[in-house]
Amino acid sequence: MNPGDFALPHDALDIVLRLVAATAIGMAFGLERARRGKPTGMRTLGLVSFGAALVALGTTHAQGIQGAPDAFGRVLQGVDQGVLVGIGFLGGGVILRDPAAGKIHNLTTAAEVWAIAAVGLTTAVAPWMIVASAIVILIVLIVLCRMLEFRFHLKDHS
């Protein structure tokens, strides 16, 4: 047995890096939520992002798909639609409506779960520059908007 026998092929290393990156991205956003006492935390968002990336990578690397551009496009489109609709259903489960107070709760949580799934899908198949851009925009959106909401008393942040 040679030391090189355990080396991962370039494609396999890229797949592992994408799965790890998707999981880490979800966990990082979940950590921010957990620090604020929100129930959708590190494990949940890490799993959402990992799961979305795994489905996309697993499907797009199925035998016979990569050699057929039309099939590849249809399969990827189906995966994207299925994951995002499924995550939308999951997110819908956290939304609470209080008709007496005229308020809706956890809408941002549902949107963040959905966005993290989209980041997981993107991490699986897109160039790293798109992934990095998505992360920066999400950080700005989540952190900056929260600061603005707090500053201008636009939302109760108790």
Which tokens in the block code for residue 50? 């990992």
- pTM of the predicted structure, to 2 decimals: 0.80
Task: Give me the number of domains the chain comprises.
Answer: 1
Q: Is residue 119 part of a domain?
A: yes
- Interval 75-119: pLDDT, tens: 889 999 999 999 988 888 888 888 888 888 888 889 999 999 999
Q: Is residue 2 part of a domain?
A: no
Q: Is residue 118 part of a domain?
A: yes
| Position 64 pLDDT exceeds 80 | no
Residue 2 confidence (pLDDT): 59
Q: Is residue 64 part of a domain?
A: yes
Q: Is residue 145 part of a domain?
A: yes
Domain of residue 14 covers 8-151
What is the b/e burial string over 36-50, where b = at least 16 CB atoms within 10 angstroms of the residue's CB? eeeebbbebbbbbbb
Q: Is residue 157 part of a domain?
A: no
Residue 133 confidence (pLDDT): 95
Higher pLDDT, 19 or 37: 19
* Cβ atoms of residues 42 and 27 within 8 Å: yes
| Position 7 pLDDT exceeds 70 | no
- Interval 34-44: pLDDT, tens: 898 888 889 99
